[in-house]
Amino acid sequence: MKVLKVTTDNVVSTVELVEPHWKSMGDEVGGHFERVNPRLLEKPYCFLCNESGLLQELPINLVGSVMYGFLEHGQPIVGDIIFMREDFGPDGPDLFGLSDDDISYLLGSIAAIAERVVMPVPHERGIKQ
């Protein structure tokens, strides 16, 4: 299952999650995760972040914070994040990997954020365009 990861230092990369997926998701965000529906992304996209990242004093993830809308409510997103699709599976709502089209869309959204806020342009590593 392919996902898009954005680190706190703005490195963007594709990551292949291995079975069991829930464990791989936690490994990528550094612990137990929570799903976030960012205000600046259309459904079915969401991202996962470390659910106790604030308590662990992880660094701010600027991309995640802007997409989440932290300027309106004051809660930043901290730690690394991974973007996924949320949709209905055979057992109800579930998380799914990304297609190449999904990744292109998300990269465009991240680039738009980089143009609007003062931040270094994200590094792309392992992403074919």
Distances in Å between the Cα of 77 and the Cα atoms of 34, 46, 54, 66 are 11, 13, 8, 9
What mean pLDDT, rounded, does the chain reach?
Answer: 87
Residue 129 has pLDDT above 50, yes or no: no
The dihedrals phi and psi of 18, each to the nearest 5 degrees, come to -110, 165
Q: What end-to-end distance do the CA atoms of the chain give, in Å?
A: 19
For the CA atoms of 89, 25, 13, 95, the dihedral, rounded to the nearest 10 degrees, stands at 10
The domain segmentation of the chain, as residue ranges, is 2-125
| For range 103-107, the mean pLDDT | 95
| For range 1-23, the mean pLDDT | 92
Summarised one tens digit per residue, pLDDT across range 67-102 is 998 888 778 999 999 999 998 888 888 899 999 999
pLDDT grade for 114, boundaries at 50, 70 and 90:
confident
